[in-house]
Amino acid sequence: MRTRAVELAVVLVAAMGVTAIGVGGSGVEKGAQPEMAVPRFIVHNPRDGAEVAAPQTAEGDFVAKDFRFRDGETVAELRLHYATLGKPERDAAGRVTNAVMLLHGTGGSGAQFLAPQFAGELFGVGQLLDTAKYYIILPDGIGHGKSSKPSDGLHAKFPQYDYDDMVAAHHAVLEHLGVKHLRLILGTSMGCMHSFVWGETYPEFMDALTPLACQPVQIAGRNRVWRKMVMDAIRNDPEWMGGEYAAEPKQGLRTALDLLLIAGSAPLLMQKTLPTRDAADKYLDDYFAARLPGLDANDLLYQVNASRNYDPSPGLEKIRARVMYVNSADDFINPPELGIAEREIRRVAGAKFVVIPISDATHGHGTHTWAAVWKGYLAELLAEK
């Protein structure tokens, strides 16, 4: 029962890609020095199934000087955190030839990709993103993880960043690392949306894109409604005080967590894992006890509001990379019955779109981080020339 409860915890806090720190391991020890942090996922030898040492993760920070946001605001220093696995390989001209970038969801960080259900399926010996073969880059987006964010001190005076700003910051990190081309960008939820922005903004920068769990259009309808409800819950709490609160506005945050839980829910998994009233009630109590203490209202508000300008639909024809686009049928946030993904992806030359049917293996919106469910499609993409 505990294993399935842990799986459900990951699903329910995966609404918009929110990371469950401490559930399955965050992957990088807090405060660890570069080159010393060791991910906690398990890797097995593909020949005999024996457990082997996981590859080391190096952490770093790049400080972008006088970073200019799309609305014209600037900050003197923008800290951009990242982690890497593997080593860069270079051609005769010194260009990195084996770089892959993974983009996290709203409220998450690059560390979420070190959870066993993701890294343990992809990063090991002989696996699709074997770290002996690829140089894997895991950036923390603006406002997320260990990158600069409102809770660092500026609170509501922090620049109102959007997805274009976040992609520009990713690009700055890659320049800092000496990476001028990527073999693959794989993004989950918000990272899925960033993948489409990347494909349009820098169409020659990557060979392939794997967007997981999003839509390539403006956020509207039910998706916009529940996001605005999250933001309104925070802003309308008197304890928020315009972002200058002395203590977290807990009622607003609790309502926000209610909405995130529903958005990330998977009905089949929840019914099987929480088959009684008491089990469901206990899970909800545990959920709030685990999530509320580490949540910052301004950070969450900014993270959700960053999607306000997202709309790649006018420029989808600009994408030149090979695309394998995957959604799941039990995704509350991106339900297949809308038909949006199938219609819009036809505008991307050669792109393939897949809807994963509901099964015991799917996890609602959070299916994006359970690599065993969709890695066959990634294999198909990587095999293409």
What span, in angstroms and rounded, lies between the C-alpha atoms of 47 and 372? 18
pLDDT, mean of residues 39-62: 66
Q: Is the pLDDT of residue 320 over 60?
A: yes
**21-25, 52-56, 299-303: segment of lowest average pLDDT:** 21-25
Over the stretch 85-136, which tens digit does the pLDDT of each residue have? 999 999 999 999 999 999 999 999 999 999 999 999 999 999 999 999 999 9
User: Given this model, what pLDDT does residue 202 score?
Assistant: 98
pLDDT of residue 44: 56
Percent of the chain with pLDDT over 90: 84
| Model confidence, pTM | 0.88
What is the reported pLDDT for 25? 26
**Rg of the chain's alpha carbons, rounded to an integer?**
20
pLDDT of residue 11: 41
For residues 253 and 34, which has the higher predicted lDDT (pLDDT)?
253
pLDDT at 208: 98
pLDDT band at 289 (very low <50, low <70, confident <90, very high): very high
Q: pLDDT tens-digit profile of 357-385?
A: 999 999 999 999 999 999 999 999 999 87
* pLDDT at residue 385, as a whole number: 74
What's the whole-number average pLDDT of the chain? 88
pLDDT at 225 over 60: yes
Question: pLDDT tens, 229-280?
Answer: 999 999 999 999 999 999 999 999 999 999 999 999 999 999 999 999 999 9
